[in-house]
Amino acid sequence: MVHEWARRGLAFAVASFVVLTAGAAHAATGDDIFGSVDDDGLQTSGLGKGELNKLGSKTHNAANASSTPPWYQYGSSSFCSNTPPGASGGSDPSCTAEFAVCNPTGASGGASGPAVRVWQREVDRTGQPIAGAAWREIGWTCLSSLVPGATNVLTMQMILNEFHDTVFAKPTASIQPVGLKTLVNLPTYYELKWPEAGFEPGEADTTTLVGRRVEIEPVFVSATYIYGDGEASGPVESLGGPYPTGDVIHTYRQRMIAPVQINVTYSGRFRVDGGAWIDIPDTVTIEGTASNLEVAEAKARLYNNG
């Protein structure tokens, strides 16, 4: 049986190739797994931004038809396997390492990764592989979209964009005493509740990016409880709770209508084609739905029952 991730995986390998001159070839060091850091703060191994751009600038075409052989074509495949691009029966699985080895955001704020393996093989003047020429791995890079001829490459930036486009659940406040009424000087208890709408922690939003199945799951980081009287608690990691065990408690000192609101900060995690879950290096804060809490004042009265 052919699994879905195996079928989709071939879309991740670079299927289009570019004919390049021999001067573009570059051998990776191989012994420094984390590689060097380029001027954008992105980690690379052997093949950095400048080197990849140099490969692309040496494309063999009509403009430089006078160049001499040998020529090469380049492609990429998943960092998680040693399968060359387009190999029969090969697969392109996702793994934690392809993101873990890359700087997830970079000094300039641009997301890098996943890491890909870069391959080279010799071609003739027409761009057809020379008989007997096999793919040879020449290194790997976190700048997958800069590999010459790269198309339909899943990038970390795509995943971050999808994370920020997720419809997160807007938290609501469950309050005791119930009925949205409490009293001055009476301890009031708050509990964070998730509504039906939107994705809450533990629920995954599934989408397809460049032919790959990507799941994004919110992760609760903290909550800020806004009591509506100018005071707040947080950010805290507590979800609160009901009387008498809840640990988010506030006491009002005067009569008022208090707009109570809970704001939540989410991080997230994702996985590709059913692979391992990987942390998303970003957060988002969602404002909760406000509830108007009536704060009344109780007054003692003497009654004559005689």
DSSP secondary structure of 32-64: -TT-EE-TTS-EEBB--HHHHHHHHHTB-SGGG
pLDDT of residue 34: 33
What are residue 272's DSSP bridge partners?
214
Dist. CA 154–CA 159, nearest whole Å:
8
Q: How far apart are CA 52 and CA 56, in angstroms?
A: 7
Secondary structure of residue 232 in the 3-state scheme: strand
pLDDT at residue 24, rounded to an integer: 35
As a whole number of angstroms, the distance between CA 22 and CA 127 comes to 13
Strand partners, 16: none
Measured CA distances, 38 to 35, 87, 102 (Å) = 10, 31, 12
Per-residue exposure over 24-63, b if at least 16 CB sit within 10 Å of its own CB, e if not: bbbebeeeeeebeebebebbbbbbbbebbebbbebbbeee
pLDDT at residue 64 in the model? 47
Residue type, 132: G
Distance CA 258, CA 77 (A): 57
CB atoms within 10 A of CB 277: 14
pLDDT score of 59: 53
Phi/psi of residue 203, nearest 5 degrees: -110, 130
Cα separation, 8 vs 1, in Å, equals: 14
Across the chain, where does the E strand assignment appear?
20-21, 36-37, 43-44, 71-78, 116-123, 136-141, 172-176, 181-183, 188-193, 205-209, 212-226, 232-236, 249-250, 256-272, 278-287, 291-296
Could you state, in chain order, the average pLDDT of each consecutive group of 10 residues for the chain (306 residues)? Answer: 33 38 34 42 60 65 58 82 70 70 54 81 82 87 80 84 95 97 97 96 94 94 98 96 96 97 96 87 94 89 62
Dihedral of CA 170/166/270/49: which sign? negative
- The pLDDT score that the predictor gives to residue 67 is 65
| pLDDT at residue 73, rounded to an integer | 81
